[in-house]
Amino acid sequence: MSQFVRICSVSELPVTDEVGEFTVEGRTLCVAHIGGSIAVLDGTCPHEGGPLGEGIVEDGRVVCPCHGYSFDPRTGASEQDSSMKAEVFESKVEHGELRVKL
């Protein structure tokens, strides 16, 4: 059964228009702070496994550091390949902590 688990405290979130990498329950996650909202994506790029959490934010999208594929933080859709999607997880801020549904 999936449940919300803690990623980090609000004070540990990446600053606006940056991403960060976190490991929760053995999963690598990419936390993106974009335009005042937070999105949580699978930290492993669906292209060739690059570290999305070490990427950058550009034009409101998460850009992988390996080959520059970019992903919509809400849907995970890739701009470069319509058949490719990064997994996006439901998340919420509660009691000063970012939590993700795994």
- Positions touching ligand FES (CB under 6 A) are 45, 47-50, 64, 66-67, 69
Pairing of strands 27-34, 56-58: unpaired
Name the residue nearer to ligand FES (CB basis): 67 or 92.
67
Contacts 24+ apart (CB under 8 A), 8-12: 8/97, 8/98, 9/96, 9/97, 9/98, 10/93, 10/96, 10/97, 10/98, 11/96
Name the residue nearer to ligand FES (CB basis): 40 or 41.
41
Q: Cβ of residue 73: shortest distance to ligand FES, in angstroms?
A: 15
Name the residue nearer to ligand FES (CB basis): 9 or 49.
49
Q: Cβ of residue 5: shortest distance to ligand FES, in angstroms?
A: 25
